[in-house]
Amino acid sequence: MIFYFKAKLPFILFFICLSLFSNSYSQNKIQDSVFKLEDVIVTAQKRSELLHNVPFAITNLSAKQIEDLRLWQIKEITSVIPNLYSADPGDGRDVTSIRGIATTSYDPATAVYIDGVNQFGLDTYIPTLFDIERIEVLRGPQSTLYGRNAMAGVINIITKQPSNILSGSASYSIGNYGQNRMNLSLKSPIIKDKLFFGASILYDARNGFYTNQFNNTTYDKQHGFSGNYYVKYMANHAWSLLLNVKNRAQRNNGAFPLVMGADAAIADPFVLNQNATTTMIDNTLNASLSVKYTGHSFDFLSQTAYQSNYRYYTNPIDGDFSPYDAVSVINNYGKPWNKNKIWTQEFRISSPTSSSNPFKYTAGAYLFYQDAPVKQGTRFGADANSIMMVGDSLFTLINSTKTTKKGVSIYGQISYAITSKLNLTAGLRNDYEDQTQSVLGEYQHDPMTKPITIRPDTSANIHFTAWSPKLALDYHMNEHTMGYANYSQGFRTGGLSALSSDPSQPPLVGFLPEHSNNFELGLKNNLWHDRVSLNIAFFYTKVNDAQVPSLVLPDAITITKNVGKLNSKGMEFELKAQASKSLFIQYSLGYTDASFKSLQLSSQGSSVNLDGKKQLFTPDITSFLAIQYNLEIKPGHLSAFIRGEWKYLGTTYFDLANTIKQSPYSLFNASVELNAKQVSLQGWFRNISNQKYIAYAYDFGAAHFGDPSNYGVTLSYRF
């Protein structure tokens, strides 16, 4: 009976929300009739339009909502967005799943765009959130407009940009675990209507959540510096240029706080025992130049971008997650290695935003080039043979991989108003990609000064083409209600397998792109004089030739093969209600049933039938409730709010055999804020009940907890 109640709790809560809103609405409908939800403008289809008119599931988080939610990292939108789960093992590379389409390799399933620039892979994007204007989360395949690796959806992040208005802000947060976060932002015109400057910088730091028993010290202490800088030039009313540079320098004294075995992690939470300790140096740079034309006949955009990431460990990092000198990983081989560089170029032309023409279009071309040289050594220490029975000790296997990728795509999407109520959207994209990879395997035994070659330098090439169509119909029953149906195909890029120590997994074997067919039905409503937004969506996704990862140890290298068929189906519900002048309610519910129709996995010479197993990193239920009460103490001068949040995540699996799982759990957050004109003081509490839960685990059993209970205050000033 208790289990049944917990499983049905999110659905029960939905009806409670409706009841709460109905009561509040009845009591306040006369005096508060002027209060309503704001209209939301999004650029999800690469043109500005009302969110209510977008014919697929999309959630928008405004700057105010991001602040109220206290979102500091991209992964914190987990369950705030229905059917979205995001976590990292401790090194800042988020693994994100939407609707059962999960990231399982360095090529993500969910594309992240920041200010229009595709954060090409897990290495080069910046997960820290600051100075954000809005976040748009597009659920379901978006490959037609966004291209490769948008098979699960898109997280579209837009930062605040300079204008003719001088503005700025400063905030300082302090909390337990030594949390410190300082943010300064300034936006200013240099020459009115012509030249503008904007800058935002962030310093954030915290002590570790984990204690290392090996030396009785804090394990995962970290700090970082981020910047976002703009120069904008308006040549005239039509032409503008925008130069944007972003950077992130992260220092992490314990990048992988992992404990072998979920049971061991739960029995002694936030305690590990690793002998090899190091600092991860992680430097990321993103730069872009955008040239924009806004005219009466068409709009044009050219965006040129460069991204780089240099990530290495100052000393070898623990590879066996134990106090023994068995396995460690080395990647500090100098700047020619492990520095990922990407160049991208997009040209886009579209119908003018202000056009009343029933025919609207967007068309463009996208080009990219990636250079990714990776050199990694797997060190077998003094205890390697006695612990792992590898036949020897004190030697290193060195794998060097050079990968270059280049591609070009052409896309187009049209929308036509068949009648005043019925609209048709159709789109098509063609991607061509070419990859070249070379591998070199070396062996070095103590006291050798130079390694010897065990696999000569060999190379291979692969190329492929992908088509990504889309078709949608939306019908506006009235100005407040819209229904839609769409079909879209997703595309995740293919590639070549890396070199590993497992002889049954030969390198340079190509794996094909992954494609999905997605069907979605939805209904969007603005009710009660635009005081309630109610969205419902149903989806079905079928993936053939699914890319299935196999982790090879002790190298920690992922081998990908097309050996699965995945079906995912479910529903989503979103409610936002300005129930009264003072009361705001937000609730979302997601349900996903994602399982492999067929899955044959082979590794280390054996084969396993995993038909019917559930997808990784995919809770069957996500539920989020936020209730905020605003109070005008002295109108125009002094106000306050109190806010409570409840997150519920269902059963989540972390390995393909479904032996490592996290049972359903709840997280409770709260905040209270006092605002006095330009100054605000907020107290926040995260994971109030100090729930212990596995946020990330590898299929070989190493697990990482989600953040423990933390709390603090934030002081902010704006002008």
Q: pLDDT tens digits, residue range 662-672? A: 999 999 999 99
**Residue 9 parent element (H or E):** helix 2-28
Q: Coil, helix or strand for 144? A: helix
The reported pLDDT for the residue numbered 12 is: 52
**Sign of the alpha-carbon torsion through 523, 528, 533, 534:** negative
The reported pLDDT for the residue numbered 603 is: 58
**How far apart, in whole angstroms, are the C-alpha atoms of residue 548 and residue 560?**
6
Beta bridge partners of 165: none
The reported pLDDT for the residue numbered 9 is: 57
Does 128 score more than 60 pLDDT? yes
Does 136 score more than 90 pLDDT? yes
The domain defined by 2-718 folds into Maltoporin; Chain A (2.40.170)
pTM to 2 decimal places: 0.92
**pLDDT tens for each residue of 444-479:** 999 998 999 998 889 999 999 999 999 999 999 998
**Alpha helices per DSSP H over 29-149:** 63-69, 143-146
Does 13 score more than 60 pLDDT? no
Q: Averaged over 684-699, what is the pLDDT?
A: 94
**How far apart, in whole angstroms, are the C-alpha atoms of residue 25 and residue 21?**
6
The reported pLDDT for the residue numbered 93 is: 85
Beta bridge partners of 624: 588, 647
Query: What is the average pLDDT score of the chain?
Result: 90
Q: Averaged over 11-17, what is the pLDDT?
A: 50
Structure tokens at 517: 């067919």
The reported pLDDT for the residue numbered 557 is: 73
**How far apart, in whole angstroms, are the C-alpha atoms of residue 651 and residue 667?**
14
Q: Averaged over 306-317, what is the pLDDT?
A: 95
Structure tokens at 363: 């068309």
The reported pLDDT for the residue numbered 605 is: 59
From start to end of 20-83, where are the E strands?
41-42, 49-50, 58-62
Domain borders along the chain are 2-718
Does 100 score more than 90 pLDDT? yes
Residue 633 burial (10 A CB sphere; 0-12, 13-18, 19+): exposed
Structure tokens at 166: 């001088």
Q: Which residue has the higher pLDDT, 496 or 28?
A: 496
Q: pLDDT confidence of 26, banded at 50, 70, 90?
A: very low
Instruction: Please say whether the beta carbons of 227 and 246 come within 8 A.
Output: yes
Beta bridge partners of 467: 430
**pLDDT tens for each residue of 324-375:** 999 999 999 998 999 999 999 999 999 997 778 899 999 999 999 999 999 9
Residue with tokens 């800042």: 92
Beta bridge partners of 117: 114
Residues of the chain above pLDDT 90, percent: 74
Beta bridge partners of 560: 549
Q: Averaged over 696-705, what is the pLDDT?
A: 89
Residues of the chain above pLDDT 70, percent: 93
**How far apart, in whole angstroms, are the C-alpha atoms of residue 547 and residue 561?**
5
Residues 6+ apart with CB under 8 A from 289: 241, 242, 243, 244, 303, 304, 305
Q: Which residue has the higher pLDDT, 17 or 634?
A: 634
The reported pLDDT for the residue numbered 29 is: 43
Q: ∠209-171-220 over CA atoms, to 5°?
A: 15
The reported pLDDT for the residue numbered 445 is: 95
**pLDDT tens for each residue of 580-633:** 999 999 999 999 999 999 998 775 556 788 999 999 999 999 999 999 999 999
Q: pLDDT confidence of 123, banded at 50, 70, 90?
A: confident
Q: Averaged over 571-579, what is the pLDDT?
A: 95
Strands 211-212 and 271-272: parallel
**How far apart, in whole angstroms, are the C-alpha atoms of residue 505 and residue 215?**
37
Q: Which of 25-34, 115-124, 362-371 ranks highest by mean pLDDT? A: 362-371
Q: In this predicted structure, which of 201-215, 428-442, 443-457, 579-593 has the lowest mean pLDDT?
A: 443-457
Residues 6+ apart with CB under 8 A from 527: 480, 533, 534
Q: In what order do the strands lie in the sheet with 217-218?
A: 217-218, 211-212, 271-272
The reported pLDDT for the residue numbered 2 is: 39
